Amino acid sequence: MHPFFIDMAVDFIRTYVDRCHHGKEEDILFRDLEKKSLSSEHKRITEELLENHRWGRETTASLVNANEAYRDGNGKAMSTILECVKALIEFYPKHIEKEDLHFFLHVMEYFSKEEKDAMLEEENEFDRNLIHERYKAIVEKAREFMGG
């Protein structure tokens, strides 16, 4: 597996999956669900999803570290890369199924139409700002790299 492919996969996971998708869940949906009296099942699933997000971040970080080690000449790091990729490939379809079939539509019942509309508008604003956030961070890293 080529290190560049891993870089692209990590960029997708960190930018779209974690920052965009999980970001909207954690910063908007879960925040607003905390104000509601959830069933024990929905509380449990919310906690599971948050733990899933943490696991995804940790596994992605392990993948990044292994990829860097591999680039630095540690051939043994390839086994960690493959383990991480396999774990992520097995994990995300199950995570998406849990969200789609057992959570998202069901928890919308806790919200009024006005609340749903407000969350949707906030999510749209989140999406509009995401590209600016991403490239601002890139410029800041470039400045650090260039010493200024």
- pTM, entire model: 0.84
* Residue among 90, 82, 92, 15 at smallest CA distance from 52: 92
Q: What is the pLDDT along the chain (148 residues), one digit of tens a residue?
A: 788 999 999 999 999 999 999 999 999 999 999 999 999 999 999 999 999 999 999 999 999 999 999 999 999 999 999 999 999 999 999 999 999 999 999 999 999 999 999 999 999 999 988 888 878 888 888 888 787 6
